[in-house]
């Protein structure tokens, strides 16, 4: 049973930012799908086990700020 969690992501200003966030989160264990929106300043993360703390840490490592929506 997969779960989907939406995050607010701030600091993204271009498509490269979107790719950086997407790739960082996609690498995380248990994550099967990531949809990042520059326009909505959001990341929708789906997976068998979505570790909120790890998702936020991965996004912050790329230089952006994230929080659960
Ligand atoms: Mo280009 Mo997006 O430096 O930060 S990746 S604006």
**CATH number, domain with residue 22:** 3.30.70.100
Q: Would you say residue 14 has pLDDT above 90?
A: yes
Which residue in this structure is represented by tokens 């271009």?
14
- Nearest ligand 1 atom, CA 14: 2
Which residues are paired to 36 by β-bridges? 43
Q: How many domains does the chain have?
A: 1
- Nearest ligand 1 atom, CA 20: 5
Rg of the chain (C-alpha set): 10
3-state SS class at 55: helix
Centre of ligand 1 from the C-alpha of residue 48, in Å:
30
- Report whether 35 contacts 47 (CB < 8 A): no
> What six digits make up the tokens of 55?
């998702």
3-state SS class at 47: strand
Q: Give residue 20's domain range.
A: 3-68
pLDDT tens digits for 20-61? 999 999 999 999 999 999 999 999 999 999 999 999 999 999
């Amino acid at each position: 049973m997969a779960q989907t969690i939406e995050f607010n992501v701030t600091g993204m200003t271009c498509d490269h930012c979107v790719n950086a966030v997407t790739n960082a989160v996609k690498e995380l264990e248990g994550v099967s799908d990531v949809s990042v929106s520059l326009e909505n300043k959001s990341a929708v993360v789906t997976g068998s086990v979505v570790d909120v703390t790890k998702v936020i840490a991965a996004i912050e490592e790329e230089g952006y700020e994230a929080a659960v929506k």
